[in-house]
A = this chain, B = another copy of it.
Amino acid sequence: MDKLSEKVLEYGIVLKPENIYYLTGFFPTTKAALLLKEEPLLLVSKMDQRFAETSTVEFKAVEKFEVEFNLKCSKIGVEKKFVSIEFYEKHLKGKEVHDLGFIEEMRKHKEKGEIKKMKRAARITEEVMKSVAGELVGKEEREIASLAEFKIKEKAELAFNAIVAAEENSAIPHYTPGDKKINAGEVVIIDMGAQAEHYNADVTRTLCLGNEPEFYPIVLEAQRVAIKECYAGNEMKNADLAAREVLREYGCEEYFLHSTGHGIGLEVHEPPRLYKEATGRFEEGMVITVEPGIYKDYGIRIEDMVLVGKKAKLLTKLEK
């Protein structure tokens, strides 16, 4: 919160749940706000009162948040990416509004405790991936997805709904599992993640139930070279460019429909994003996914979680 005084701000209002959790240890389940000032104050709903006791800052259960937001100050910080125009018009008009971007800047760098939770989430994800991988043939995509989610929930929370996409469906990056039956010989993308103590994992494997498809080794190579670029000091765009270069060599670049990866932590997708116009450099402690893909008649995607250090270090250990 010293960051506030650097900006000579009198007040800040934090509304994004992940940011509130990051700064207070309390994860709101409904409306909440953290007022940043000399003595920070957490405002929670009566519904969340019992959870708020875990907070590291003072809290108050309020019925009318609106009243609390009308602060007498001339400069104020808010999360500009998150806070709505309506909120601005109701509570911030006439004030000099600054961005509380420093919170997400801090969140980019994972501390030991955070990495430990993410490793736990990754381990659970990998175990479940292995266990469902043996049961694919003859099942429907949605059965496998439900089974994977059920198994994750035995040990943790779910980071996001599992994607299980067989054969032609694997060509759709954000496919929703349907009633297609998985047959021997098909290509199946499984993309899933557990969440442990609010920290997420995100892992994708493409399982080839027949001969290795033409694109598989190309994506694997693109991922290998991209991961190698994820070291502290290197420009972030280099990871994306390296993956694209491999795909281009094989004439596949146009079938790569998304960016190479994204930060992960309290959110499944959070800054930084690895794309060709990314600015900035990798810094120690960042955790990112590296997940190139090719989507044509069928799809191949391979995704691992990488911890940035002097060298890139894989947080995921699952064989490919």
Contact = CB atoms under 8 A, between A and B. Distances in A.
A257 B172 contact: no
Given A150-B146, A154-B146, A174 B29 contact: yes
Interface stretch (A75-83, A129-137, A304-312): A75-83
Nearest to A84: B81
Interface string A137-180: 00000110111011001100110010000000001111010000
A58 B149 CA distance: 36
A85 interface: yes
Nearest to A293: B47
A149 B158 CA distance: 12
A234 interface: no
A172 B50 contact: yes
A87 to B, nearest CB: 8
Nearest to A154: B146
A30 to B, nearest CB: 6
Contacts of A49: 257
Given A46-B257, A47-B258, A85 B89 contact: no
B146 A47 contact: no
Contact of A85 (B80, B172, B174): B80
Contacts of A85: 78, 80-81, 83-85, 87-88, 97
A66 to B, nearest CB: 11
A223 B174 CA distance: 41
Interface of A: 29-30, 45-51, 78, 80-89, 97, 99, 142-143, 145-147, 149-150, 153-154, 157-158, 161, 171-174, 176, 257-258
A-B interface, 5 closest residue pairs, ranked by CB to CB distance from nearest: A29-B174, A146-B153, A80-B86, A80-B85, A46-B257
24 contacts: A47-B172, A47-B173, A47-B257, A47-B258, A50-B171, A80-B85, A80-B89, A81-B86, A83-B85, A85-B88, A86-B99, A88-B88, A142-B153, A142-B154, A143-B154, A145-B153, A146-B150, A146-B153, A147-B150, A149-B149, A149-B150, A149-B153, A150-B150, A158-B161
Given A50-B171, A80-B84, A81-B86, 17 more contacts: A45-B257, A46-B257, A47-B172, A47-B174, A50-B172, A51-B172, A80-B86, A81-B85, A82-B84, A84-B84, A84-B85, A85-B87, A145-B153, A146-B150, A146-B154, A149-B150, A158-B161
